[in-house]
Structure 1
């Protein structure tokens, strides 16, 4: 029966069918992730002791925002004597270093135009801490971007996770400028979706999460074993996550530790940033893809699925979509040129292109709606904007198609994104009780 069915299909039908089945089989598990999040509560931990932490902040010309981050750290509901902040003023031409010192941070000024990028700055900061503060007894290192601000309970909640035995953990990434425009809102929905419907499900199922950019800690023993920050591809966060998972490690997630991140508001900045991310994902896939495949069969039981999950995360799935669209566009072009004259084949190719694009946008819309409604109270904008940005989210995501193409030809280079949005830190704190109120009023 199947032989008869396939005999009636053209090679175009068979190609498109195979691509569709491949996508469905590879990524269907993420729908299960959604079900897990909606029906099961993630495990909770309560720390038995408070641990000592160092904070690493790589900052290049961040004079406008660096003080807000440091202030949000200094008003934490966590013993201040157990938190030391270190800012790496990386190739700065403004007064970032001076502002950071005034705000209470230790500052290392770095001048190196050859080794550019966050990974090199973090390594520089870590090694200077070992040199000058090696006896301070830091048990883990937090990494933030200069534009972040933290919920007042951030360190207390992350300490619960670290005390449970986590070697690394990411946190709930929210946006401090969600309502700037459709671009910042697109980022905001994407990161909320990643936190809620990827990392929370992974936490619940006891598989490994993934570090994404900012708002995470790494145990001191991990960095000591690696002799510093050794991950220097364009997406050093994803490289660290992939390397850890390949080695059988597990990255945790703390859904109650909330961080607010500034998102780009111009399409030019957004394109440049996401192009770098796409190129970085290609790099990580090229360096670690085969190791992840191997880990799916050789890693300890309970850690093999994490390799598959990470492989699907970094795999260039968008390129497969592009190949499908290009293939069908060529078929249409050949038919118009008279090389192929099958009208049915043209119709099939045209419908396949529309199916790829509309199906992608439909799924993004549904994820945007689901994320917005479940995280409604955590999104800092009006109800009108929340609804509006559910409809613009698929448009934001469809722009990844040309970005994925451009990234193939992009020269690997790290370029900073300018941050300029300052906030009242107290407005971004989940204040619980009079103790929190008194801390914020300091």
Structure 2
């Protein structure tokens, strides 16, 4: 077999591997499009449960006041919502601003146990020890840069009343129209909400939380012994651990919140490098149990498979293909006889492969943009333009996923500066 023939077969096998791994997500999109045609259920008069809202904040004096304001403006009984802020290793006025806005504030200074997971556990212990008489039934978890639509808590309360012990929500963007980077994040989070979590709900499977904007039953936290998830991606670690334990995570599409996306390459690089490294950590820690759930044929076996595909670094698999092409092209380049001709053929195949991947990602972004058009707060031409740049944003995960394999990554805060109110976002 010639080198060119090998590369063609290798390319076909890689494409087949991707098809086998992720074709179910195409089915998800079909299910989602059908589910989106159904009218969303109207809010019903159900029992109003009591909640503690927990916000882990580090140097967030610019944005935290707007989040607390949006919580206080909820169409929900105010006496049933208490706001707790843990000012985690802050060097600014986050604690003062949060307290002035009307929240219970505790400052935490710990340079060893660094990360959101530790901050959440710190505040949950305080609530358990100092506020046990208030008998909170659930904990809302938000980041300081979030903003909530007025019916957010009421919508989440409806699903909580149905028996779900973990519920995630619709993640929108405060600064979608800032540039192609912030739009890339925002478009993916919308796709994740409506084309991954929505079909999971329709198929009675478990959903997955995404960083922020979720609700956890107080009993579940008590059963777990607090917030015990401290990997670099504590959100996906929490999701995976709950699915392994048989918990079914719900998705409330009518509960909409907004968060700020990184707008510079440096911020985005550091954040997604942490995510990629965190995904590797989750694979190492929970991969065996996820595979075991599949092989043992448990009732949640497909959710286990779904989570493996979620944390599986797809871009890393893609990069293997490009690496092989590059390796052989270098070898052929050194061949003084037929090198130039063979390199041209190799690069032609590589460009075709990139084109296929670009096309697939463009379709995903385009469908999401069209169906979520009214929820995207941006000019019409930017909405269309960012569907073109969306695949490029996703391609940037390739170098990130490779670098994350070889370097030690530590949790670092992302600076938030978009101090918008809910009306400003709209």
TM-score under structure 2 length normalisation: 0.95
Structure 1 unaligned runs (5+)?
Answer: 1-5, 430-442
Deviation string 1:61-114 (CA, Å, 9 cap, x unpaired) is 100000000000000000111111100000011111111111110111100000
- Answer yes or no: is the 8 Å Cα contact 1:321–1:356 preserved in 2: no
Structure 2 CA distance for aligned equivalents of residues 319 and 391 of structure 1: 22
Question: 1:275 maps to what in 2?
Answer: 273
Alignment of 1:94-105 (within 5 A): 94-105=92-103
Q: The residue matched to 1:77 in structure 2 has which SS?
A: coil
Question: 2:331 maps to what in 1?
Answer: 334
Question: 2:35 maps to what in 1?
Answer: 40
Structure 1 CA distance for aligned equivalents of residues 285 and 220 of structure 2: 20
Give the superposition deviation at 1:398: 1.5
Alignment of 1:168-207 (within 5 A): 168-207=166-205
Structure 2 CA distance for aligned equivalents of residues 359 and 282 of structure 1: 26
Q: The residue matched to 1:228 in structure 2 has which SS?
A: coil
Structure 1 CA distance for aligned equivalents of residues 13 and 394 of structure 2: 24
Structure 2 CA distance for aligned equivalents of residues 268 and 48 of structure 1: 46
Q: The residue matched to 1:89 in structure 2 has which SS?
A: strand
Closer, same or farther: CA 161–334 of 1 in aligned 2, 3 Å? same
Question: 1:106 maps to what in 2?
Answer: 104
Alignment of 1:168-247 (within 5 A): 168-247=166-245
Q: Which segment drifts farther, 350-359 or 55-64?
A: 350-359
RMSD, aligned CA: 2.0
Q: The residue matched to 1:254 in structure 2 has which SS?
A: strand
Structure 1 CA distance for aligned equivalents of residues 207 and 253 of structure 2: 12
Q: Which segment drifts farther, 290-299 or 319-328?
A: 290-299
Q: Which segment drifts farther, 356-365 or 18-27?
A: 356-365
- Answer yes or no: is the 8 Å Cα contact 2:117–2:234 preserved in 1: yes
Deviation string 1:357-388 (CA, Å, 9 cap, x unpaired) is 22222112111111111111001111121112
Question: 1:24 maps to what in 2?
Answer: 19
Q: The residue matched to 1:28 in structure 2 has which SS?
A: helix
Give the superposition deviation at 1:289: 1.3
- Answer yes or no: is the 8 Å Cα contact 2:333–2:339 preserved in 1: no
- Answer yes or no: is the 8 Å Cα contact 1:328–1:352 preserved in 2: no
Structure 2 CA distance for aligned equivalents of residues 310 and 253 of structure 1: 16
Give the superposition deviation at 1:175: 0.4
- Equivalenced residue count is 423
Give the superposition deviation at 1:14: 2.7
The correspondence for 1:319, drawn from 316, 320, 323, is: 316
Give the superposition deviation at 1:424: 2.4
Question: 2:358 maps to what in 1?
Answer: 361
Give the superposition deviation at 1:208: 0.7
Give the superposition deviation at 1:418: 0.5
Closer, same or farther: CA 323–332 of 1 in aligned 2, 3 Å? same
Structure 2 CA distance for aligned equivalents of residues 15 and 290 of structure 1: 28
Closer, same or farther: CA 398–297 of 1 in aligned 2, 3 Å? same
Structure 2 unaligned runs (5+)?
Answer: none
- Answer yes or no: is the 8 Å Cα contact 2:315–2:395 preserved in 1: no
Q: The residue matched to 1:64 in structure 2 has which SS?
A: coil
Structure 2 CA distance for aligned equivalents of residues 11 and 264 of structure 1: 41
Question: 1:59 maps to what in 2?
Answer: 57
The correspondence for 1:292, drawn from 282, 290, 304, is: 290
Give the superposition deviation at 1:7: 11
Give the superposition deviation at 1:8: 12
Deviation string 1:303-339 (CA, Å, 9 cap, x unpaired) is 1110010000001221111111111111111111129
Give the superposition deviation at 1:190: 0.8
Give the superposition deviation at 1:344: 8.1
Structure 2 CA distance for aligned equivalents of residues 352 and 216 of structure 1: 44
Deviation string 1:187-224 (CA, Å, 9 cap, x unpaired) is 11111111111111111111011110110011111110
TM-score under structure 1 length normalisation: 0.91
Are positions 1:89 and 2:87 aligned together? Answer: yes
Give the superposition deviation at 1:226: 0.9
- Answer yes or no: is the 8 Å Cα contact 1:47–1:164 preserved in 2: no
Question: 1:163 maps to what in 2?
Answer: 161
Closer, same or farther: CA 229–286 of 1 in aligned 2, 3 Å? same
- Answer yes or no: is the 8 Å Cα contact 1:150–1:428 preserved in 2: no
